[in-house]
Structure 1
């Protein structure tokens, strides 16, 4: 492996941090802005649901929005306009409340007994107001509701309703598409007037192929090569789609590894040879052959046929999520 120069380290870092603002991203950002603006005119804050399959770009989207709007805000009760908290996996409401306090730089006082939950809820409200939070984004929200009874879900949603109203803060629930089936509170369903879903990319229709190629152009322009890669050719775009299956995170990860490999080997651009080597390095469970060495019509096109689903009757945790299903065409 060739040691990277400082310039190439910088180029790799910049590519790793790059953000493509797609049309759907712009729409979501506008929704977030509207939620924050409207809270100044409504006593009952509007809320929102943002969903998407694994790797569709939900987390990078909300982090980018926070970065753009929080500026130099710290976590010592200075202004924190946008707060992102992540639901602790397989934990309950109390752990999530503690996590929100932690994300605000506040340690939850130790308190036991039946009043602990009420105490934590009030602590969250007080600290959200003190930090001047304008938008609370709860990531991986599905982890808070799955495997919970109807009554448990009602308690969770009621607590969040209280926090939203008392702190006058809109809440964005971020998670898997099937989490909408777990929110059974009529009042919350009426609050979630704004809903957006981040879909996987598709490749069957011309407009979908053009959209995917435009994304490849966007990534190409963010690679500091002497010669800009032509990733959006018919051959390479089809091969790259076969690798990522329309999943944004998989595409980004693959291109990052390819860019790094090219820099390490002093290549002046990304070519099919480097992409083929990257595939050999990373592997791919759903492909038996390297798509960058196949003829155009031999490259399979993944088609999302069945989205992921939640199985409330699962007896074990490993069976609670029914994974996404793809079919393949040529």
Structure 2
């Protein structure tokens, strides 16, 4: 195999360690249970920069798309907060991410009304089972309590009417959404990705198991031995 192709393959490998498997299991559970109640249970996934939030999202979406039976369906809608960081533009961004024809027209005057219902209809039509909103904290920053509540009300309506759970992913202060009582009850599932640590013995063992997984995938003739590190 070409050296660059081998190195590229290794750089793209993904280790589903315990934290990641736990979160992916939660996402699967939300999708499986979405018709059991109108009040959709959702999940909040937080973590500092570099803890692997975006990589987890990409991995989960890839697995979901690989298992879908119909190309016209979109089991997972991965989106993010619009550059304007307001609700209307973000809903338009969601419609755009659904590849909805004519989305650009919604940005014109007169088309901004009833975006919520347009999105609900589009989610039903494309059979979306889960919405993942990345960098969710961006829409909450510098907003008043009333503005955050309005954002929460809109997302609650969309989630309930389309019967689609939402995964909010972002920095730790994305937890501000839980200040709204209606979301606190819907976000019983909360998971936090953390950086690996090498000082604590328990966390060191967890970290080394991850390194071993990478070592087994290294494009080398002999797999590196981390046994000495484990015994220290």
Within 5 A, what are the aligned runs for 1:128-139? 128-139=123-134
**Cα pair 1:75 1:105 within 8 Å, conserved:** no
Q: Is the 8 A contact 2:178 2:187 kept in 1?
A: no
Q: Distance in 2 between matches of 1:11 and 1:197?
A: 33
Contact 1:214 1:232 in 2 (8 A): no
Which residue, 20, 27, 30 being the options, matches 1:25? 20
Partner of 1:44: 39
Q: 1:202 aligns with which of 191, 194, 197?
A: 197
The 1:75–1:148 alpha-carbon spacing in structure 2 relative to 1, beyond 3 Å, is farther
| Cα separation, 2, equivalents of 1:55 and 1:75 | 34
1:156 is paired with a residue of what secondary structure?
helix
1:95 is aligned to: 89
Task: Name the structure 2 match of 1:155.
Answer: 150
8 Å CA contact 1:46–1:170 kept in 2: the answer is yes
Superimposed CA distance per residue, residues 12-66 of structure 1 (whole angstroms, 9 cap, x where no aligned partner) = 1211211100111111111111101111221221111001110101111111111
Q: Residues 140-289 of structure 1: matches in 2 within 5 Å?
A: 140-230=135-225, 233-234=228-229
Could you say if the C-alpha distance between residues 183 and 90 of structure 1 is closer, same or farther in structure 2, counting changes exceeding 3 Å? farther
Please give the per-residue CA displacement for 1:126-166, whole angstroms capped at 9, x wherever unaligned.
Answer: 11111100000000000011011111111111110010011
Distance 1:67 1:151, change over 3 A: same
Gapped regions of structure 2 (runs ≥ 5):
none
For the pair shown, the structure with the greater C-alpha radius of gyration is 1
Counterpart secondary structure, 2:50: coil
- The two structures have a TM-score, normalised by structure 1, of 0.65
What is the alpha-carbon distance in structure 2 between the residues aligned to residue 129 and residue 74 of structure 1?
17
Q: Corresponding residue for 1:273?
A: none
Q: Is the 8 A contact 2:41 2:187 kept in 1?
A: yes
Whether contact under 8 Å (1:153, 1:184) holds in the other structure is no
Local SS of the residue matching 2:195 = coil
Residue number in structure 2 paired with 1:250 = none
Summarize deviations over 1:193-232 as a string: whole Å, max 9, x none: 1010001111222111111111111111111111223467
1:121 aligns with 2:110: no
**In 2 relative to 1, CA 181–26 (structure 1 residues): closer, same or farther, beyond 3 Å?**
same
Structure 2 CA distance for aligned equivalents of residues 30 and 128 of structure 1 = 22
TM-score by length of 2: 0.90
Equivalences, count: 228
1:217 and 1:232 in contact (8 A); partners too: no
Whether 1:104 aligns to 2:98 is: yes
Distance, in Å, in 2 between the alignment partners of 1:97 and 1:66 is: 20
Quick check: 1:39–1:170 contact (8 Å CA) kept in 2? yes
Contact 2:140 2:176 survives alignment (8 Å): no
Conservation of the 8 A alpha-carbon contact between 1:89 and 1:144: no
Counterparts of 1:133 and 1:93, CA distance in 2: 20
SS in 1 for 2:185: helix
